[in-house]
Amino acid sequence: MRRVLLAVFFVAASFGIYVAPSGADSPIFSNVVLSFDFSNNSAPASASAVGSANTGASTTTGAFNVITDVLPENTGGFVRMVAIAPVASGSANLVCPFQPVQQSQVECAFNFSADGVWVIRAQYSIDLKSSVSSVSITSLRVTD
């Protein structure tokens, strides 16, 4: 009887280990919403309309922090942000690599080197091996 019980526990444990990774692809992670907060380390950013439907912020060149809020609250995972340089600027895109979500937020510091409208793209992934499941985009006007 002991051997049968041990075999049952082993099979149950193996099944649980097998099922757990497939649960990571649950559709709940496709419902993650990303939104943006802005800070230039000294004062709140001024909101301004950029483009037709995007609203963003305005800052001067130099260091600027962009915070992505991850909803629903207490969602785990990772967020990467990319600041896409204005086309005519000749500047390279700025990449903030995947960082773990902490207290429903991820913060990246960008050092904007050119004037113009930078497109900020935040990408969410449940882990570093899965594909991106949520994306949010906003614009940031940078001036001297």
- Tens of pLDDT along 54-108? 445 667 777 888 899 999 999 999 999 999 999 999 999 999 999 999 999 999 9
Question: What pLDDT shows up at residue 64?
Answer: 85
Domain ranges of the chain: 28-143
The mean per-residue pLDDT over the stretch 130-134 comes to: 94
Distance CA 31, CA 71 (A): 9
CATH superfamily of 28-143: Macroglobulin (MG2) domain (2.60.40.1930)
Q: pLDDT at position 40, please? A: 60
**70 in Cβ contact with 34 (< 8 Å):** yes
Q: Is the pTM of this model over 0.85?
A: no
Closest CA to 32 of 88, 104, 118: 104
Q: Are 81 and 122 in contact (CB under 8 A)?
A: yes
